[in-house]
Amino acid sequence: MAVYRLRFSAEQIETKLQKWAASNQYADVHAVYRAIELGHITADEVVCALIEEEFIPHIARADGKRVNHARVRLCRCWMMAEEHIKWTLASRITIDTPIVGRMIGKDKPFMMVHRADCLNAPTPDEAIKLRWQKPTTNSQSAEFIIHAPFRFGISSVILHKFETHQKHNHENMVLHRFYTETNAYQTTITCTITAPNMDVIHELQNEFNILQERGDIFDYSVWGLFHSEHLRLSGKLDKRQHNPYTLKQIRDQAMFFGRDEEIKRIIEYLREGETFIVLYGQKRIGKTSLMEHLGEHVIPKTLPNDILPIFFDALSLAPFNTQTLLRGLIESAIPHITRTIKRATLPTDLRLRPNELHQSPFTYFAQWVKRVEKRLGGKRILFMIDEFTRAEEEYRRGQIDESFFSGLQWLAGNQHIGFFICVHDHIYRQNTQSWGFLQRGHPLYLRTLDKQAAKKLIQLPLQSLYQFDEGIVDKIVDMTNGHPYFIQAICLELSVHMSKQDTHHITDDDLSVAINSVLHNGRHYFHHFHNQENPLCNDVLKCIAFLADDEHQWVERETIQEAALEWQIGNRMSIAESIGILYQAGIIEARTHNNTKSTYRIPIKLFQFWLRQGTHPLIRSDMQKHEGLSS
C-alpha cells in the first residue's frame, strides 16, 4: 500500500504548533504563520517537524543505555553547503536512515539527533551511536473508511464482520479503533486494524465488496498507516494490544464485575420453570455481556441438567424474517445438541427440513424443539436472542408483519418454548408493535453498576500495572454514575495515555487527559446513548445540561420550560413531552422537591459535560446572554 494517512486531531495539531513555536522562539502560532507568509521559513519545514516528532519514541542507543525521549531533539539536517532551504526531501530524518546523536548543554543536557551522513553531524569521536527501536513484526496495519446508508444496525453489521473474521479465522487480527459518524444521509465508519499479513486485509476487502454489491454500503477505501503509527500498533511494547478495556461486549470473564442480583433473579426464574424472560435497558448498559456471561458460564454450571442455553445475535441475519430467524435459531442450536447427546451428527428426526419450515414455520419449529427436548431427556432449550430490537426496525421497514410477533407469542405462551430476549428500553416501554409480545415475559431492567462493582471495574484490571492516586477512582465513578460503558471509555483512554508515560502512578492530570480525550471524541462515545432522531429531545437535553452546574445538578421543570421557551425550543406541551421521553429512556432522573416541584438531572456527568460543549452556538450565546442578565 503506497498511500498513507496521518491522523491528528485539530487539538493535537494546535498543541504541536504551540510547542514548535515556543521551541523556535516564536511568540505564538500566529507568529509562525506570519513567518511562513514572509518566507522566513517554509510550511514544509513546519509540517516535517510535526511529523518527525512521532519518530522520537523509536530512537534507542546502540549501547543499550536508556534514552530520555523527553530530552531528545531532531537536528535540522542539510546535505549540501549551498542549500539555502535546509529541510528538503533528501535531508529529512526518517525511519531506517542512519542516525547519530550528541549531547548539548550542561545543566539540563539534551540529545540532538542527526542523520549520520549530513554535513553538521558530530565527528565519530563525539557521536553517540543510535539505532531505530523497530520491533520485529510480521503484521500489516490498515485503516478502512466505509460509507453506508443511514439505517438502523449498519454499524453493528460492519463490526460483526470484523469480529467474525477475528474470531473464526485470525485470532491475531486486532481491531484498534472503530468510529462511527452519522448524518441525515449516511453513516461513515472508520476502522483501524492490525493483521498478520496482507491476505487478511484482502479477505476483508472481499467481504466489503459483497456488502457493496448488495447495497448495504455505498463504498469503502483502504489506507496504509504511517510508519510510526504502524510501529505503535504492531510493536511488542504497544500496551494498547493488551488494553483490558473494551467498548464491545465483555468476552474476558476477568472483566465482568457486578450483576449478582440480576443473575440471582434470572436463575430463580429458570428454576421455577419460567420460559420467557425479557432483559431490557439503555444501549451499552451491558445487556449483551450479561447474556453471554449467563449462557457461557453461569447457566451451564448452575443448571447443567435442566437448561441448554443457545445464544443468537439477531443482527447476524440477512434478510430478517420469520423463516430466517427460526432457521438461524435451529442452526445455532445444532452444535450444542450434538455435543450434549455426544454424536457427530444429528439423528435423522432432528435434522432441519427447510421445505417444512417454509410452509409452516412456527408449527414446524415448535415440533422440532419438542423432539429435541425429548432426545435431551427433558432438558429445556433456552433461546437467548440478542438485539431483538431489530425486529421492530424490520417491522417498520415492512420486512415482517404482525404475524411474526403473534407467532413468537404462541411459541412462548402456548408451546412453553424458552426465550430470553434482549431489547433496548425504548422498545419495551413505548407503544411499539412488539410491546404486546414482550409484556408476556418476566421483565428485568438492567441498571448501572453499584459503587463497589464500578470500583472493581476501574481498579482491578490495571492493578498489576498502575496505582491510582487517592480520589481518582471515586472521581471516575462520580463522572459515570457507575455506567459500565462510560467507565470502560474513560479507562480505555486512560490506559492508552499511561502506556506512553514513564510513571506507574495515575494522577488527577492523567485522568483529565483521558476525560478530555473522551469528550473530544464524544460523537463516537455518546452517539448510541441518546435518541438523535428527535431534535427537540436533544435540544431539551442540552438545555438541562447547560442550566445545571457542578454544585446544583438538579433543575426544576419550570426552569427548563421557561428557558427552552425563551430560546425558542418548541412549545410548552412539546417540551413537557420531551422531558417525559428523556425520563422514560433513563437519560435523565427525576425527583419531587417538597412534594410540589419536580426537578431533573442528567446522572452521567461525563455526558452532561459533552452536551455543554456541544450545545449549538446560537443557543449557547442566548444562554450566556440570559445568565448575564440574570446576574
* Three-state secondary structure call for residue 27: coil
Residues 172-193 have pLDDT tens digits of 677 877 888 877 678 889 888 8
Distance, CA of 620 to CA of 623 (rounded, Å): 5
Q: What is the DSSP letter of 420?
A: E
Which residue from 332, 269, 262 is spatially nearest to 306, judged by alpha carbons? Answer: 269
Is pLDDT at 8 greater than 50 in this prediction?
A: yes
Would you say the C-alpha torsion 78, 79, 81, 87 has a positive or negative sign? negative
Cα 574 to Cα 154, 540, 543, 562, 569, distances in angstroms? 31, 10, 14, 13, 9
Percent of the chain with pLDDT over 70: 85
Q: Which three cell numbers stand for residue 613?
A: 460543549
Which residue from 430, 431, 407 is spatially nearest to 419, judged by alpha carbons? Answer: 407
111 contacts 72 by C-beta, under 8 angstroms = yes
Q: Which three cell numbers stand for residue 527?
A: 452517539
Give residue 65's pLDDT band: very low, low, confident or very high (50, 70, 90): confident
* Residues ≥6 apart with Cβ < 8 Å to 237: 135
Residue 177's pLDDT is 79
Query: What's the mean pLDDT in 293-312?
Result: 93
DSSP line for 458-475? HHGGGTTT-EEPTTHHHH
Helical H runs in 284-421?
287-293, 299-302, 322-341, 354-359, 361-375, 389-396, 402-413
DSSP line for 474-485? HHHHHHHTT-HH
Query: What's the mean pLDDT in 220-249?
Result: 62
**Candidates 3.40.50.700, 3.30.70.260, 3.40.1160.10, 3.30.420.10; CATH matching 140-242:** 3.30.70.260
- What class has domain 259-446? alpha beta
**Candidates 1.20.1070, 1.10.101, 1.10.8, 3.30.70; CATH matching 451-526:** 1.10.8
CATH 3.30.230.70 is right for the domain spanning 535-630? no
Report which of residues 131 and 430 the model is more confident about. Answer: 131
pTM: 0.62
189 contacts 155 by C-beta, under 8 angstroms = yes
584 contacts 595 by C-beta, under 8 angstroms = no
Orientation of helix 402-413 relative to helix 361-375, angle to 10°: 30
Distance, CA of 408 to CA of 391 (rounded, Å): 12
Is pLDDT at 427 greater than 90 in this prediction?
A: no
Distance, CA of 327 to CA of 410 (rounded, Å): 17
What type of residue sits at position 47? V
Is pLDDT at 408 greater than 50 in this prediction?
A: yes
How are beta strands 72-74 and 140-149 bridged, if at all? unpaired
The answer to whether the bond into 122 is cis (omega within 30° of 0) is no
Residues 315-353 have pLDDT tens digits of 888 889 999 999 999 999 999 999 898 887 888 888 889
Residue 384's pLDDT is 97
With helix as H, strand as E and coil as C, how does 79-99 read?
CCCCCCCCCCCCCCCCCCCCE
- Rounded to 5 degrees, what are φ and ψ at 313? -100, 115
Residues 96-135 have pLDDT tens digits of 788 999 988 877 788 888 888 887 788 888 899 998 875 5
Query: What's the mean pLDDT in 374-383?
Result: 92
Q: What is the mean pLDDT of the chain?
A: 82
Would residue 484 be called left, alpha or beta, if left means φ above 0 and alpha means ψ between -120 and 50 degrees? Answer: alpha
Query: What's the mean pLDDT in 509-524?
Result: 86
CA 339 to chain centroid, in Å, comes to 35
Q: For the chain, which residues make up each domain, given as ranges?
A: 4-132, 140-242, 259-446, 451-526, 535-630
Cα 571 to Cα 360, 575, 584, 611, distances in angstroms? 51, 6, 20, 21
**Angle, vertex CA 474, rays to CA 469 and CA 476, nearest 5:** 95
Query: What are the beta bridge partners of residue 313?
Result: 386
Give residue 361's pLDDT band: very low, low, confident or very high (50, 70, 90): very high
Placement of cell 419531587 in the chain: 592
Is pLDDT at 196 greater than 70 in this prediction?
A: yes
DSSP line for 575-612? HHHHHHHHHHTTSSEEEEETTTEEEEE-S-HHHHHHHH
Residue 241's pLDDT is 43
Query: What's the mean pLDDT in 41-54?
Result: 71
Q: How many CB atoms lie within 10 A of CB 508?
A: 11
Give residue 235's pLDDT band: very low, low, confident or very high (50, 70, 90): very low
